[in-house]
Amino acid sequence: MTTFQSLELSKPILKSLDIMGFEETTPIQAQTIPLGLQGKDVIGQAQTGTGKTAAFGIPLLEKIDTKKKGVQGLAIAPTRELAIQVAEELNRLGKTKGVRSLPIYGGSNMERQIRALKNNHIVVATPGRLLDHIRRKTIKLENVHTAVLDEADEMLNMGFIDDIRDILKALPEERQTLLFSATMPKEIRDIATTLMKNPEEVKVKAKEMTVENIEQYFVEIPEKHKFDTLTRLLDIHDPALAIVFGRTKRRVDEVADGLQARGFSAEGIHGDLTQGKRMSVLNKFKRGRIEILVATDVAARGLDISEVSHVYNFDIPQDPESYVHRIGRTGRAGRKGESISFVTPREKAQLNLIEKLTKKKVERLKVPSSEEAQRGQQKVAVDKLVETIDKNDLKHYKQSAHELLEQHDSVDLVAAALKQMTKERSEVPVRLSSVQPISVKNAQRDKGKKGYRKGGKRNFNSKNKSRNRNFNGKGKRSYQNKRSGSNAK
């Protein structure tokens, strides 16, 4: 166990860590913070949800001189929501020291960003908007001594590499560069090293690439049964919060509409929505006002929403790295999570590729019948009923209960209460547009053509007011904290 005290951090940073409730370092933090503090270039790879943000954030913040004005540190993230989330974490970590971090991203007011730039020490940006500022000369980067690429492999894939090169060219030669991600394909690592000076590579040794606390399952089903299977699984799992990943924007819209039609609290998020809409959907999800977020890969990377208990791959992802990031939206900071991937018979080879990358066998789950789904719903009601008895707050109901028992059979009464509490799911038929199955051959052909993903600039996270809900309200956040309840199958 390594404490933050033993890393020779400054008093204000230690104070912020204490306020945030961080007690011990995570392994990637223990291994990379000292290197970062020595000014070394670092490539850091560690599983999802293991605190990479603070691993690069702490050295970055330590190097900021708050007496100087202007931008001294730069972090780049692939999506808008992630840029916002990283800036928030940096603002929390840097609060006591007085370091201010500003997210800048497309879709928000350029003029306002330009004014705000003057009063911030660190900028967290998406590549496109940052390049806009560089080209219009509305950002001064000559005093930037530290650059971070969060989700480095994503940023260096074919879709972003030229932008990143252009951005790095606008920075002083003499700088420290930090690259972090949960995945780092060799081809990308080779590109990365050309942008860095003798980087130290830190790969947190783990048997598997995905975290152990995510139970990983797949169901094998024909395309046409996917939607009904999803709703059954949702009824059985009763997730606290769930993310359902779909392959395309249209697919996401259709699945979100279908879930709403069947009475689920769901909304979709993808790159075609306005920035305002994206933020509002994500914020509603974080506050638990919607329970199911249906998303494209725009939500696959970096997002940290602790209550996400289940991830469903409604469509198996095209590349295995994406699988690692998608399922990593659950099981964060030591909590438990579950992932369920839908695999059509022709997509089995794709699942094998994923298992090869992650070095982990994905367990088969039986496709649940509608009776099992109904029993699942009833179990949710039973659990609620038992929980209510445990709370021992029934004084005002007992008189009515006695009266009812005089007139009715006790089993009938309990059954009626359960029926009332069970969400009887409407069986509105939902038909989705057809899609091509993913085949390994297609996936590899696309990879050859366009790099790791279908090019495309994607953007995505914001204030997580509910993030401490699982920390006993005390604020001390032990990294090993396990989530409790709400995770039952």
Residues lying near ligand ATP in the complex (CB under 6 A) are found at: 22, 25-26, 29, 48-54, 182, 302, 304, 328, 332-333, 477, 479
CB of 302 to ligand ATP, least distance (A): 4
Q: Which tokens go with 363?
A: 């367990």
Indicate the residue among 52 and 175 with the shorter CB distance to ligand ATP. Answer: 52
- Choose the contact partner of 51 out of Mg ion, ligand ATP, none; CB within 5 to 8 A by kind: ligand ATP
Cα separation, 134 vs 71, whole angstroms: 13
* CB within 8 Å of 136: residues ≥ 6 apart: none
Residue 302 sits in the site that holds Mg ion (CB under 5 A):
yes
Q: What's the length of the chain?
A: 489
The stretches of 21-100 forming alpha helices (DSSP H) are 27-37, 52-62, 80-94
CB of 352 to Mg ion, least distance (A): 27
* Residue sitting closest to ligand ATP (CB): 51
DSSP summary character for residue 215: E
Indicate the residue among 233 and 282 with the shorter CB distance to ligand ATP. Answer: 282
Indicate the residue among 298 and 351 with the shorter CB distance to Mg ion. Answer: 298
Indicate the residue among 148 and 236 with the shorter CB distance to ligand ATP. Answer: 148
CB of 156 to ligand ATP, least distance (A): 16
- Choose the contact partner of 462 out of Mg ion, ligand ATP, none; CB within 5 to 8 A by kind: none
Cα separation, 10 vs 31, whole angstroms: 18
CB of 460 to ligand ATP, least distance (A): 12
Indicate the residue among 59 and 328 with the shorter CB distance to ligand ATP. Answer: 328
DSSP summary character for residue 367: P
- Choose the contact partner of 246 out of Mg ion, ligand ATP, none; CB within 5 to 8 A by kind: none
* CB within 8 Å of 360: residues ≥ 6 apart: 208, 209, 210, 216
CB of 50 to Mg ion, least distance (A): 9
CB of 465 to ligand ATP, least distance (A): 13
- Choose the contact partner of 54 out of Mg ion, ligand ATP, none; CB within 5 to 8 A by kind: ligand ATP
Indicate the residue among 52 and 447 with the shorter CB distance to Mg ion. Answer: 52
CA distances for 221 relative to 227, 235, 343, 435, angstroms: 10, 18, 6, 14
Indicate the residue among 52 and 80 with the shorter CB distance to Mg ion. Answer: 52
CB of 175 to Mg ion, least distance (A): 21
- Choose the contact partner of 217 out of Mg ion, ligand ATP, none; CB within 5 to 8 A by kind: none
The stretches of 359-394 forming alpha helices (DSSP H) are 370-391
Touching Mg ion, residues 40-69 (CB under 5 A): 52
Q: What angle do CA 277, 280, 281 make, to 5 degrees?
A: 85
Cα separation, 68 vs 81, whole angstroms: 28
Indicate the residue among 26 and 313 with the shorter CB distance to ligand ATP. Answer: 26
Report strand pairing: 214-220 vs 337-343: parallel
**Could you tell me if 124 and 103 are in contact, meaning their C-beta atoms sit under 8 angstroms apart?**
yes
Cα separation, 51 vs 14, whole angstroms: 16
CB of 197 to Mg ion, least distance (A): 23
Indicate the residue among 219 and 327 with the shorter CB distance to ligand ATP. Answer: 327
CB of 280 to ligand ATP, least distance (A): 22
CA distances for 405 relative to 399, 408, 412, 418, angstroms: 10, 5, 10, 16
In sequence order, the β-bridge partners of residue 146 are 73, 176
Longest Cα–Cα distance in the chain: 85
Q: Which tokens go with 305?
A: 């929403």
**Residues at the interface with Mg ion (CB under 5 A):** 52, 302
